[in-house]
Chains A and B, each alone.
Chain A
């Protein structure tokens, strides 16, 4: 059973909307000025929407191809070490 399309609940003059497109990983955003964009990243989406009235041309930027290596989780406070137990070998 299919549900009706998403309702638009808020009725203010400056409502920003982001719909997660069914069957995909993409988000479609619509500014209150009518400008629209699609992207896969909610952070990029909010940056684009909040740029009103200067929404970047060409839509929100897609993620860069090259990603940095993951960082280590650095713990500096001994009290924050989560698991610590003596070991006998």
Chain B
């Protein structure tokens, strides 16, 4: 059974990736949930998305010499021409356009700097939530962002991000310190809303270089990590950094802390590969280019440390029989909850019954 959740919105790209290429340049294309999709902008600037294969002989429309002409895309092989809704408007050598000459069109929305695409039954798009990451396109925040291809299934990245104790070991010297793995978490799950929330509040922690160099804090810190995951795609880490003992005011104001919103969009490319979109938004040193460059490079390094580890893990898991034993402990409480919700969503998308229980990939072993 597929592990990909259908009838959901996924991040397909940053808005800046999709444009109107000049003649001779390839159009933008990306495989999302196993479907090869062409993205381009109309002359009015609207993003449109459709299947990246001409219905005639399957030539990729993203491949030069395919090109945009006004608000149409012309196949570079035989000239089949499609409008922004995916309908064919011209075929070579004849006036009759076959009724089946249509590309699958995808609902899209541009929001919070992302291009979201709906994978599944388009009739369900309007009533399906698009989770928000407002900091990525909001006054008062400065953002660095990128995307790394991951040769691993999306669930491995979900596991990774839902349990930040791995920072201590995989990202030591960057974002990890001993206190992350040592500090207990609290986990909340709202099944109806489809949210998993995991908090790890460290009262007195070493300040890792990622935050020491970007905030200028010298000495130990109060560090809060609040994960808010809206399965299957959008993950936000609300990160709060302050000198030890500095807490928010009773009125909710928090002027003496540094806030970082670390956003990941986890978009399956195929069953065994993933687009790892990452963004770091901060509410301090907004115009400091040095801080911007540091956070961009440092966070990308951290992302690549995860990519390297998860690519290896994918190879290991792909070579194992289903149901191989693994072990879950307290640090996995949030990750198990996320797995369960994703499994339920995947089952809803296929009409199959949802798996009963939290550990979806782990029938043979449990936390014993």
Q: Which residues of B contact A9 (CB under 8 A)?
A: 188, 197, 199, 226
Other-chain contact of A15, B190, B325, B332, B336 (Cβ < 8 Å): B190
Bound Cα distance from A3 to B358, whole angstroms: 30
Residue in chain B with minimal CB distance to A17: B188
Asked if A87 CB lies within 8 Å of chain B CBs, one says: no
Chain B positions 171 through 196: 1 when the CB is less than 8 Å from some CB of chain A, otherwise 0: 00000000000001111111111010
Residue in chain A with minimal CB distance to B191: A14
Other-chain contact of A7, B195, B199, B336 (Cβ < 8 Å): B199
| Known contacts A18-B187, A64-B368; A46/B197 CB under 8 A | no
Chain A positions 1 through 37: 1 when the CB is less than 8 Å from some CB of chain B, otherwise 0: 1110011111011111111111001010000000000
B188 touches A44 (CB 8 A): no
A63 touches B185 (CB 8 A): no
B184 touches A20 (CB 8 A): yes
B340 touches A44 (CB 8 A): no
Q: Which residues of B contact A10 (CB under 8 A)?
A: 188-190, 193, 195, 197
B184 touches A44 (CB 8 A): no
Query: What distance in Å separates the Cβ of A51 from its nearest Cβ neighbour in chain B?
Result: 10
| Known contacts A17-B186, A20-B185, A20-B330; A67/B368 CB under 8 A | yes
B188 touches A63 (CB 8 A): no
Query: What distance in Å separates the Cβ of A13 from its nearest Cβ neighbour in chain B?
Result: 7
Residue in chain B with minimal CB distance to A19: B186
B333 touches A27 (CB 8 A): yes
| Known contacts A2-B203, A12-B192, A14-B191; A42/B328 CB under 8 A | yes
B359 touches A43 (CB 8 A): yes
Number of A residues near B (Cβ < 8 Å) is: 42
| Known contacts A43-B359, A46-B358, A80-B318; A15/B330 CB under 8 A | no
Asked if B321 CB lies within 8 Å of chain A CBs, one says: yes
Q: Which residues of A contact B328 (CB under 8 A)?
A: 41-43
Bound Cα distance from A82 to B317, whole angstroms: 12
Bound Cα distance from A25 to B13, whole angstroms: 42
B319 touches A21 (CB 8 A): no
B184 touches A22 (CB 8 A): yes
Bound Cα distance from A51 to B328, whole angstroms: 19
A42 touches B190 (CB 8 A): no
Asked if B153 CB lies within 8 Å of chain A CBs, one says: no
B321 touches A74 (CB 8 A): yes
Asked if B367 CB lies within 8 Å of chain A CBs, one says: yes
Q: Which residues of B contact A7 (CB under 8 A)?
A: 186, 199
B190 touches A12 (CB 8 A): yes
Query: What distance in Å separates the Cβ of A60 from its nearest Cβ neighbour in chain B?
Result: 11
Q: Which residues of A contact B201 (CB under 8 A)?
A: 3, 6
Bound Cα distance from A45 to B366, whole angstroms: 11
Asked if B244 CB lies within 8 Å of chain A CBs, one says: yes
Q: Which residues of A contact B191 (CB under 8 A)?
A: 14, 16
Asked if A71 CB lies within 8 Å of chain B CBs, one says: yes
Query: What distance in Å separates the Cβ of B329 from its nearest Cβ neighbour in chain A?
Result: 7
Asked if B122 CB lies within 8 Å of chain A CBs, one says: no
Chain A positions 47 through 89: 1 when the CB is less than 8 Å from some CB of chain B, otherwise 0: 1001000000000000110010001011111011010000000
Bound Cα distance from A80 to B317, whole angstroms: 10
A50 touches B357 (CB 8 A): yes
Bound Cα distance from A13 to B319, whole angstroms: 42
Q: Which residues of A contact B367 (CB under 8 A)?
A: 40-44, 63
Residue in chain B with minimal CB distance to A18: B187
Bound Cα distance from A27 to B199, whole angstroms: 14
Bound Cα distance from A27 to B93, whole angstroms: 71
Residue in chain A with minimal CB distance to B192: A14
**Pairs of residues from A and B, 7 with the lowest C-beta to C-beta distance, nearest first:** A80-B319, A46-B358, A20-B184, A41-B367, A6-B186, A43-B366, A12-B190
Q: Taking beta carbons and an 8 Å cutoff, which residues of B are in contact with A?
A: 184-193, 195, 197, 199, 201, 203-204, 222, 226, 244-245, 315-316, 318-321, 325, 328-330, 332-333, 336-337, 340, 356-359, 362, 366-368
A and B contact pairs by CB, cutoff 8 A, 8 listed: A6-B186, A10-B188, A12-B192, A16-B191, A18-B186, A21-B184, A42-B367, A82-B316
